[in-house]
Amino acid sequence: MSNYSQNIWFNGEVIPFNEARIHILSHVIHYGTGVFEGIKCYNTPNGPAVFKLKEHMVRLHQSAENYKMSIPFSVEELCYGTIELIRSNSLNNCYLRPVAYYGYDTLGVHPKNCPVEVAIGTLDWGAYVGKEALSKGAKVTISPWKKYQSESFPASTKSSGTYLNSLLAVQDAKSKGFDEALLLNLDDTVAEGSGQNFFLIKNGIFHTNDKDANILMGITRETVLQLINDLGMEYKISNITKDDLFNADEAFFTGSASEVTPIRKIDEHTFSNGKAGKLTLKIQELYYNIVRGKEPKYESWLTYVN
């Protein structure tokens, strides 16, 4: 438990960690009826700051609406609760996990009058894919599991139950000695990682896909697209084929937990001579400086705790 903090924000109150409990017959346990976010707080020269806090809480509400789940706290209340929680835990750096879910009323698939409960937790997660991967690049395998399609679930929604798809993919990858998995769609175009968006670089141009590829429209993905533009570089958005993948010069993942993680290898194909790519590291460095409050131009993306 050492990476968790002493308090949790639970249904509007900051309470001790061990008191944040739900009933074993809660709807979410049986059917995965929850939505969540991953957010990071970083230490900056002006104290701890949360990166794109409001954008994440807006998306939490949007995810809930896709499942007709009404969150009983506004975006502003959730943002305030987040800051209150970080202060109560005396943290400078942390990963934040807001979650909204159906609690206990019925065990029928239809949630009927199940209450919507909301919690925010903090933990010290470190480098999601692995510390070495951030500097040297991750080893990735194409998953035998396909990405679920938008016709089956709203793919742009960050919902608890759908992550069973990601769990299968990353378990398979780890069992084979890889750091992460890359999921393909039914037509063998690239979707995303188990919890990350995917980019490749060819001849200095960045390429990524969009909602047509059944991906989560990531907040870090959107950030990176703006940074590419701000640096005077070019990007293109379209479906990515296996041929595109194996002809690329560089590749990387993006995500709130993964940040900007270079990829040095996908199965037997090696990028950048087996190293993190130079353009990838350029984006990564700018991103790290922004989230740590070292780029005044982007300070509006930070919500300071103090």
Element (H, E) at 174: helix 163-175
Element at 199 (helix H, strand E)? strand 197-202
Half-sphere exposure of 120 (CA within 13 A, CB side): 30
Residue 2 is predicted with a pLDDT of: 55
Is residue 275 scored above 80 in pLDDT?
Answer: yes
Structure tokens at 233: 């570089």
What rounded mean pLDDT belongs to the chain?
A: 95
CA distance linking residue 180 with residue 170, whole number of Å: 6
Please tell me the distance from the alpha carbon of residue 223 to that of residue 204, in angstroms, as a whole number. 19
pLDDT at 1 over 80: no
Confidence check: pLDDT of 160 > 60: yes
DSSP one-letter code for 31? H
Could you read off the pLDDT of 6-23 as tens digits, one per residue?
999 999 999 999 999 999
- Confidence check: pLDDT of 50 > 70: yes
CATH topology of domain 131-291: D-amino Acid Aminotransferase; Chain A, domain 2 (3.20.10)
Rounded Cα–Cα distance for residues 55 and 196 (Å): 17
pLDDT bin (cut points 50, 70, 90) of residue 94 is: very high
Domain(s) of CATH 3.20.10.10: residues in the chain:
131-291
| Residue 210: predicted pLDDT | 96
pLDDT value at 47 more than 80: yes
98-156: per-residue pLDDT in tens? 999 999 999 999 999 999 999 999 998 766 666 677 878 999 999 999 999 999 999 88
Q: What angle do CA 83, 155, 219 make, to 5 degrees?
A: 35
**Tell me, what's the pLDDT at 272?**
86
Residue among 212, 231, 211 at smallest CA distance from 221: 211
DSSP sequence for 22-62: --TT-HHHHH--EEE--EEEEEETTEEEEETHHHHHHHHHH
CA distance 40 to 259: 9
Pairing of strands 190-193, 234-237: unpaired
Tell me if the domain spanning 7-123 has CATH number 3.30.470.10. Answer: yes
Per-residue confidence (pLDDT) for residue 127, from 0 to 100 = 63
**Vertex 169: Cα angle to 67 and 247 (nearest 5):** 110
Q: What is the share, in percent, of the chain residues with pLDDT greater than 90?
A: 92
Neighbours of 92 (CB within 10 A): 13
Percent of residues, the chain, with pLDDT higher than 70: 97
Query: Across residues 76-96, what is the average pLDDT?
Result: 97
Alpha-carbon distance of 237 to 239, in angstroms, equals: 7
**What's the confidence (pLDDT) of residue 125?**
76
pLDDT at residue 135, rounded to an integer: 77
Q: What is the pLDDT of residues 186-216, one digit of tens each?
A: 999 999 999 999 999 999 999 999 999 999 9
Residues designated catalytic: 158
Q: Which residues pair with 9 in a beta bridge?
A: 14, 120
pLDDT tens-digit readout, 225-245: 999 999 999 999 999 999 999
pLDDT confidence tier of residue 4, bands split at 50, 70 and 90: confident
Backbone angles phi, psi at 100, to 5 degrees: -125, 135
CATH 3.30.470.10 in the chain is located at: 7-123
HSE (side-chain half, CA atoms, 13 Å) at 47:
9
